[in-house]
Amino acid sequence: MEPLHQLTIRQAADGLRDGKFTSLQLTEACLERMRSVDGHVHAVLEALEASALEAAKASDARRAAGGALGALDGIPLMVKDNMQMKGSRTTAGSKILEGYKSPFDATAVARLAAAGAVILGKANLDEFAMGSSTETSAYGPTRNPWSLGKIPGGSSGGSAAALAAGMCLGALGSDTGGSIRQPAAMCGVTGFKPTYGRVSRYGLLSMASSLDQIGPFARTAEDAALILEAIEGEDPLDSTSASRARYAAPRLPSEGLKGLRVGLPKEFFAEGMDDGVRARVEEAAKEIERLGAELVEVSLPSAERALAVYYVLMPCEVSANLSRYDGMRFGLSVDAPGLKETYFETRGQGFGREVRRRIMLGAHALSSGYYEAYYLQAQKVRAKMKAEFDALMRDVDLLLSPTSPSVAWDLGEKFDDPIAMYLTDIYTVTVNVVGAPAVSVPCGFANDLPVGLQLIGKAFDDALVLETARRYQGATEWHLKRPML
């Protein structure tokens, strides 16, 4: 058997059920792993050792009394540090929230706790989830466990790296333009962005509210589904959370993928992709075909505009959402003579460059004289994209593409070039703009670094996306590879 900290959630749940080990042993194994490797990886901003051990003991006691809760009971998980969790500090990777203690729980975190999960700590991220490399964190970058000189992807790079490095069995991230899928691809783990509205955003520090969605990182698609089932569902505290049916068994034959129509959007296979990524994704497509699915070339012309739509809508929403960080009610407050000076100094010193850049872009795009050309126009193009996507998805069940055009790059390589950094989101942002579900699963290596395959579904078809990924993983072994650390 693999070491405890390398188990899948399913394996660990079975082991706990069969009395092979306890949640306390599992939790201690993860904490020990964190102590031995996180000095190199820097995936964790705050280890919650005492409360984790307490939760593990409580889980073991429940189980001993015959009251185990479900698959997540006693399973050690990590939470991205932009989610509120009582008893933890929540910094969102920003100096403006240094020392802030969560007064309440995010719904997703509360639901994990209610399912018996053990929360090990808070994972590093790009500041306020703004970035694609986890380098904009005010607390220093996270490193890729596969190659410590490389970025882990972002913005949920800490969650992805902690899982890849064996510090936890799964993690929560958030995905506004690819922030779960892209680091999952770069770190060789499974990452799932649910349909917009499936998971409550209550207690997630808002970045771009019409795009943000919480979702799981796991070693397998099956594990990701277990986490999703625990956290999904309507929440009176988030008016955009959906009342739609919960996770349901998909319409597939008992095995294989016969009957499934998978579209390969030609816009996603145009130039601009590394050769190694293209080769791995084409091999993965052949494997999906071998499992019985029918591959069809399709076209989603507006996808070429998705990044431009995203880089208007997102900064606009950011500039509105981050106005709350004003030094008055919580967080950093820099003392200055007057009210306005306090705002300027607090926000000038508290926010890092990428965050300030995006707030300012949004403030400009929303300002008088520019609103129609930028924000209103982007909203119209978004509506057009959504209509085009919905029409396409009446013809196919899933879309298949790379998750990212490249494998992990060197730390610092794109740090001062926002456009180069933004372009790395080219295959992921469309999904957020139209609100669809999508998964990234490991599909091989290029230059010894993991490559991710993206499968995109129609809204609320999350179960089909994850089940297809599960069957792909049933036929391949890429998700079983672990970095040497």
Partner 1 sequence: MSLSREEILKISELAHIKLAEDEIETFRGQMSSVLAYVGQLSEVDVEGIEPAAHITGVSNVLRDDAVLAADPATRAALLDEAPAREGDLIKVKAVFK
Give the residue numbers annotated as catalytic, written as ranges: 80, 155, 179
**Site membership for partner 1, residue 36 (CB under 8 A):** no
Which tokens is 346 given?
A: 């607090």
| Smallest distance, partner 1 to C-beta of residue 211, A | 9
Q: How far is the CB of 104 from partner 1 (least distance, A)?
A: 6
Give the count of beta carbons closer than 10 Å to the beta carbon of residue 328.
Answer: 12
Return the ∠ at Cα 453 (arms to 452 and 456), rounded to 5°.
130
The DSSP bridge partners found for residue 401 are: 454
Q: Are the C-beta atoms of 450 and 442 separated by less than 8 Å?
A: yes
Closest among 289, 276, 172 to 230, alpha carbons compared:
172
Q: List binders of partner 1 among 407-426 (CB under 8 A).
A: 418-419, 422
Residues near 58 by beta carbon (within 8 Å), at least 6 away in sequence = none
Q: Look up residue 242 and give its two tokens.
A: 């959906």
Across 275-366, the runs of DSSP E, i.e. the strands, are 294-298
Q: Which of residues 289-308 bind partner 1 (CB under 8 A)?
A: 302, 305, 307-308
Tell me which residue of 251, 225, 179 sits closest to 404, measured CA to CA: 179
What's the rounded Cα separation, in Å, for the pair 57 and 374?
A: 54
| Shortest spacing between CB 428 and partner 1, in angstroms | 16
Interaction between residue 457 and partner 1 (CB under 8 A)? no
Would you count residue 379 as binding partner 1 (CB under 8 A)?
yes
Tokens of 481: 């590879």
Q: Which is nearer to partner 1, 288 or 309 (CB)?
A: 309
Q: Which alpha helices (DSSP H) does 233-274 contain, by range?
A: none
Write each residue from 61 to 100 as x if it is in contact with partner 1 (CB under 8 A), else as -, in one continuous string.
Answer: -------------------------x-------------x
For partner 1, the closer CB: 242 or 456: 242
Q: Which is nearer to partner 1, 48 or 312 (CB)?
A: 312
Q: Which of 165, 138, 141, 166 is nearest to 153 (CA)?
A: 141
Binding mask 179-218 for partner 1 (x = CB under 8 A): -----------------xx-----------xx--------
371 is a contact residue toward partner 1 (CB under 8 A): no
201, 456 Cβ separation under 8 angstroms: no
Cis peptide bond prior to 404, omega within 30° of 0: no
Binder of partner 1 out of 122, 347, 471, 479 (CB under 8 A): 347
Q: Which stretch binds partner 1 (CB under 8 A): 5-13, 74-82, 360-368, 393-401?
A: 360-368
Question: Toward partner 1, which CB reaches closer, 275 or 372?
Answer: 372
| CB atoms inside a 10 Å sphere around CB 323 | 13
- Distance, CA of 26 to CA of 190 (rounded, Å): 21
Between CA 57 and CA 188 the distance in angstroms is 31
363 binding partner 1? (CB under 8 A): yes
Contact with partner 1 (CB under 8 A) among 49, 95, 342, 482:
342
Q: Contact region for partner 1 (CB under 8 A) — 50-58, 68-76, 141-149, 355-363?
A: 355-363
The rounded distance, in Å, linking the Cα atoms of 415 and 436 is 29
Of 80, 111, 193, 382, the one binding partner 1 (CB under 8 A) is 382
Q: Which of 106, 24, 28 is nearest to 73 (CA)?
A: 24
Calculate ∠ Cα 93-97-98, nearest 5°.
Answer: 80
- Footprint on residues 302-341 left by partner 1 (CB under 8 A): 302, 305, 307-309, 311-312, 319, 323, 326-333, 338-340
Residue among 192, 202, 374, 415 that touches partner 1 (CB under 8 A) = 374
Q: Where do contacts with partner 1 occur on this chain (CB under 8 A)?
A: 86, 100-101, 103-104, 196-197, 209-210, 236, 239-240, 242, 302, 305, 307-309, 311-312, 319, 323, 326-333, 338-340, 342-345, 347-349, 351, 353, 356-357, 359-364, 367, 373-374, 376-384, 386, 418-419, 422, 433-435, 459
